[in-house]
Amino acid sequence: MSDNDAQPRELEEVLRLATALAEQLLVSEIPARSMSPARAKALIGAAQFLHENDVPWPATVQGALDKIREHMAATKSEPDDGDAER
């Protein structure tokens, strides 16, 4: 098996795993507002890898990334509890 044969399979596996992770985030973590930073980072990394290899994202991955972005923006706009006590 040459590298050219392995690469599409590896990309397909990354795509499959990214899609599964995105589905899990959309179904359980994002609605509960208890998103694991490690899982969000893993999805972002996988999406970046797919983008760099010209693999289009499925709608599920795009949707999860959009929700992660919204969550991050909302977290940044929330006041820091430590500052409120001063």
User: Are 43 and 60 a contacting pair, CB within 8 Å?
Assistant: no
Name the pTM for this structure. 0.76
Domain locations along the chain: 8-76
Concatenate the DSSP letters of all residues of 17-77 into one string: HHHHHHHHIIIIIHHHT---HHHHHHHHHHHHHHHHTTPPPPHHHHHHHHHHHHHHHHHHH
Supply the pLDDT for residue 79: 67
Supply the pLDDT for residue 6: 46
Condensed to tens digits (0 to 9), the pLDDT of residues 8-66 reads: 899 999 999 999 999 999 998 766 677 888 999 999 999 999 999 999 999 999 999 99
Supply the pLDDT for residue 1: 41
18 vs 70, more confident: 18
